[in-house]
Amino acid sequence: MQKTKVHIIPHSHWDKEWYFTSSRSKIYLIKHIKEVLDVLENKEDFGFFLMDAQSSLIEDYLKYCPSDEERLKKLISEKRFLTGPWNTQTDQLVISQESVVRNLYYGIDYADKMGHSMPIGYAPDIFGQGGNMPQIYRHFDIDKFLFWRGVADSRLKQTEFIWEGDDGTQMLAVQIPFGYYYGANIPEADEEIIHYLDEKISALENKASTKHVYFPNGLDQAPVRKNLPELVKKFNRLNSEREYIIDSPENFMAEIEKDCQNLPIIHGELTEGKNSRIHKSIFSSRADLKQANNKIENFIVNILEPVLSISYSLGNRYPHEELAEIWKLMFANAAHDSIGACNSDSTNRDIASRYKIAQDMSENLLDLNMRLISRKIDHNSDFSFNIFNPLPYERKCVTEFTAYIPEDDFRIFDLDGKELKYVIKEKTELTDYVLSQHIYLNPSKKAYMPEKVYKAKILVETGSVPAMGYTQFYIDMAKKEKQKVEKEYQINEIENEFYHITFEANNTLTIKDKKSDKIYHNQMIFEENGDDGDSYNYSPPRKDMVIRSSDLQNTKSEGTKVYKSDVENVLKLQLNMKVPKDLESRSKGINSENFRLNIEVSLRKNDDLVRFSVKADNQVLSHRLCVCFDTEIAGKFSTADQLFGIVQRPVYLPEMKTWEKEEWQETPVSIEPMQSFVSLHDENHGTAVITEGVREYEIIGKKYDTIRLTLFRTFSHMGKTDLLYRPGRASGESIIETPDAQLLGEFDFSFALTFFEGSFDNAHIAKKAKEYLTPMPVYQFSEFLNGRLIYVYCDEEKTLPQKYSMFSYKDTEAVMSAFKKAENGDGYIIRYFNPFISKTVSIKNNIADKAVMLDERSSTESKNELNFCEFQTYLLKL
């Protein structure tokens, strides 16, 4: 009879930060890796060590110990010191698709340069697995998956299965059923070892469908067990009916692949918290940090990389190194604990600092490259503006930008002489500040200097902006017309070509969809309630109060005003909600604190989005704020975007009735993640909510007809015990208080709403979301600004056209995920995905020279059509 083969995997799960800071982690990482190197070099029978599949740990180490590079390269090349494929072990549910892809790209690239990247999707502690990850893994030539969290034993009776992604891609998967720390504490006395092995290995054998079991020897920041080879010899002597070896995940998975048969297939995302907590509501922990992440991810991918590509096509340098630094700052923050914000306040301040650096670098890279282009273009005015379109088709829309404008009256024109409608939203005089900063590098050249300068926020209705290119518009002061500013009205309704909106006496919106004549009541209901949870889980108090803005007894609306212009109508209002100041007051039913919301609801010209901006002045402890939209559709499934596609989730999980009896680790709540939007719809019509902020929603209501978008939640501790939604032990350190997580102060939230007739697929919601999250950046070229304000620049020969398009491809309904210069060579990478539920999208063969894998090097089959959740990467040679 074949013996059980116990593959003992020595490893350390290395959180780069958690309740401790990254600085502490780095100091101990240096000690740890030096010990591992010494052990591997001096003990041939210590065959392998897994360094958590995060190549950034090697980068961090070599910053301080560069003399060890060759030692590491030798051991990594020999596949004894194991690293890759990740840069950091990223979250897969609220991190953007391009962030996940770049994380794997940089992780594999660095590990390969060091000698070898482990070709296994190793995810020992990530809080749930994205439903399209199999396709992403396979596009990096990774066909095996090793993980812990996300599958309940009621669905999976064994550890081995086939994981099928939402697009149909399959890969071999093995669950580490009792966690990556299961074999960490090995006794050394003979009598204890016998009992230990019988208990531990028997449990693994009962779960395995082959004679191979995975026995991880390690835990968080665990030191290497130097005498492990001696212990393994003792195991084989004391427990001869099994074979014990020190092994690697690669060897283990190869053995499984040879011996497994007729494996069950599990489809889609893995987010079940029965046997291992996945902390579903971690999506809204520290909303401020989540917002920062989402803003920068969208900025890099949607705006910065395409504009850098435009700049490169015109002869400027493409900043690969700077972008790599920005991405690696984002990867550090994308690690499961870091993006989860389930950390100490000190650690979360480090995370915020990395976001600040990433944002500053990104914004300045964009500014520089827009300037490099703009200074080589002839301009029609002393107040000229170059507007850039980062999408592969022409766009016309109302665009917001900041400008330095004169006091004189003016009109705005495009290059074709067409007058553009605009409105000045706000302006501040900065004459002395701006003009005193001017520097004359060439005193012989006379520059126009306005008498007065105002910094202004302007909305302009652009003309047609070329695909993946730019055009120009300018201020003409010779053709005077009084500056366009908003006009104030004491009314309670606004409208545009698509909607008519009325603010009702009960503080809700009634929205008439002019396309269908359908009227939607009870829109924009703000819902405030307590949060007795911690940094890992939202959990309602056992004695809660739910306060809604539609409840006139608890809410007061003040200062409702409407501002109208040629390009936008805005409804401004203030809601003052009386709410409990803390959980104790909430349990007693005492509403004593004023919770103020300043709200703007806007309709732009020719735009079918209702845009919301909410400023919350939060002085209340341990609570949650959501906003609700009644769709009037009794939903069975919600539709949201996920990594490279669409996911439909049941609005109610059957296990919500049985979780206590089945002793789940946490309540199986239907709080769900998204990338940018969520929709409820039927065959005839639907509603979608698009967010720039927290990527979390829930479908509520007696008929499951209401979309509830989380704006923020606050809490007092990193970890708490015996929560209503998570019984038992704390997930984090219960003694660590997190006063920063109470989010006291003012915070801004932006989101949008749209209604549609017909099917979800015909509404092109993913395209609307992409455009909402891809504003067209504007650069002002005015000689009087040349100086310290923007860094002074020299005169340049005017060699570039006033209008330019580097690439255009409108002949597809697929949505572009990325456009960037290829990491190697002179080509460009463009990536598309199918944004629909049931429609296929065509991609013409002449779009590119070839289709490539996500590694940007390996060729793959070029598909003429993309089916559900499929994506394709192309290499362009323009």
Identify the pLDDT of residue 556.
57
Which amino acid, one-letter code, is at 147?
F
Domain with CATH 3.20.110.10 in the chain: 4-278
Q: How far is CA 526 from CA 547, 548, 550, 621, 708, in A?
A: 8, 6, 8, 17, 9
Least confident of 552-561, 622-631, 659-668, 820-829: 552-561
pLDDT at site 196: 97
Q: Where are the beta strands (DSSP E) in 505-567?
A: 509-513, 518-530, 547-548, 555-564
Q: What is the DSSP string of 475-522?
A: EESSS--PPPBPEEES-SEEE-SSEEEEE-TTS-EEEEETTTTEEEEE
Q: What is the mean pLDDT of residues 397-420?
A: 96
Instruction: State yes or no: pLDDT of 445 exceeds 60.
Output: yes
3-state class (DSSP) for residue 725: coil
Please list the residues that pair with 400 across neighbouring strands: 459
Distance CA(394)–CA(83), nearest Å, equals 44
Q: Which residues contact 478 (CB under 8 A, 6 or more apart)?
A: none
Confidence (pLDDT) at 291: 98
Closest CA to 871 of 172, 134, 298, 265: 134
Percent of the chain with pLDDT over 90: 94
Query: What's the whole-number mean pLDDT along residues 705-715?
Result: 98
Mean pLDDT of the chain, nearest integer: 96
CATH 3.40.30.10 is the classification of domain 4-278: no
Q: Is 3 exposed, middle or buried (0-12, 13-18, 19+ CB in 10 A)?
A: exposed
Question: Whole-structure pTM over 0.95, yes or no?
Answer: yes
Domain at 496-772: CATH code: 2.70.98.30
- What percent of the chain stands above pLDDT 70? 99
Q: What is the pLDDT of residues 851-877, one digit of tens each?
A: 999 999 999 999 889 999 999 999 999
The residue among 502, 515, 495 whose CA lies nearest residue 755 is 515
Per residue in 298-335, pLDDT tens? 999 999 999 999 999 999 999 999 999 999 999 999 99
- Cα–Cα distance measured from residue 309 to residue 820, given in angstroms and rounded to the nearest whole number: 6
> Residue 847: which pLDDT band, with cuts at 50, 70 and 90?
confident
Do 571 and 600 touch, CB atoms closer than 8 A? yes
Q: Which of the 8 DSSP states describes residue 654? A: G
pLDDT in tens, 48-79: 999 999 999 999 999 999 999 999 999 999 99
Q: pLDDT at position 845, please?
A: 76
Q: Kindly tell me if the per-residue pLDDT of 552 is higher than 70.
A: no
Task: Specify whether the backbone of 645 is left (phi greater than 0), alpha (psi in -120 to 50) or beta.
Answer: left
339 phi and psi angles, rounded to 5 deg:
-70, -30
pLDDT grade, residue 396 (50/70/90)? very high
Mean of pLDDT values over 577-594: 96
Q: Residue 706 has what pLDDT? A: 98
For 384-488+776-805, the fitting CATH number among 2.60.40, 3.40.1000, 2.40.70, 1.10.1060 is: 2.60.40
Whether the pLDDT of residue 815 is over 80: the answer is yes
Is the model more confident about 794 or about 151?
Answer: 151
What is the rounded distance in angstroms from the CA atom of residue 817 to the CA atom of residue 821?
A: 14
Check residue 558 and give its pLDDT. Answer: 66
Amino acid identity for residue 529 in this structure: N
Query: What is d(CA 782, CA 775) in angstroms, rounded to the nearest whole number?
Result: 22
pLDDT at res. 366? 98
In this prediction, residues 441-464 reach a mean pLDDT of 92
> Going by CATH, does the domain composed of 284-374 fall within 1.20.1270.50?
yes
Banded pLDDT at 722 (limits 50, 70, 90): very high
Helix or strand run (H / E) with residue 461: strand 453-461
CA gap 252, 244 in Å, rounded: 12
pLDDT of residue 55: 98
Question: What mean pLDDT comes out for the span 152-174?
Answer: 96
Q: What is the CA radius of gyration of the chain?
A: 29
pLDDT score, position 340 = 97
Q: List, for residues 168-180, the tens digit of each pLDDT value.
A: 999 999 999 999 9
Cis peptide before 466 (omega within 30 of 0): no
Q: Is the pLDDT of residue 575 over 60?
A: yes
Tell me the C-alpha distance between 123 and 180, whole Å.
10
Task: Enumerate the CATH 1.20.1270.50 domain ranges in the chain, comma separated.
Answer: 284-374
- Tell me the pLDDT band of 844, cut-offs 50, 70 and 90: confident
Is the four-CA dihedral 862, 866, 869, 875 of positive or negative sign?
positive
Task: Provide the pLDDT for residue 286.
Answer: 98
Distances (CA, A) of 854 to 166, 355, 733, 751, 874: 18, 26, 38, 31, 9
- pLDDT of 831 reads 97
What is the average pLDDT across 255-278? 96
Could you tell me the pLDDT band of residue 553, with boundaries at 50, 70 and 90?
A: low
Encode pLDDT of 752-785 as tens digits. 999 999 999 999 999 999 999 999 999 999 999 9
CATH 2.60.40 fits 815-876, yes or no: yes
pLDDT at 557: 63
Report the C-alpha gap between 163 and 136 in whole angstroms: 13
- Give the pLDDT confidence score for residue 487 in this predicted structure: 94
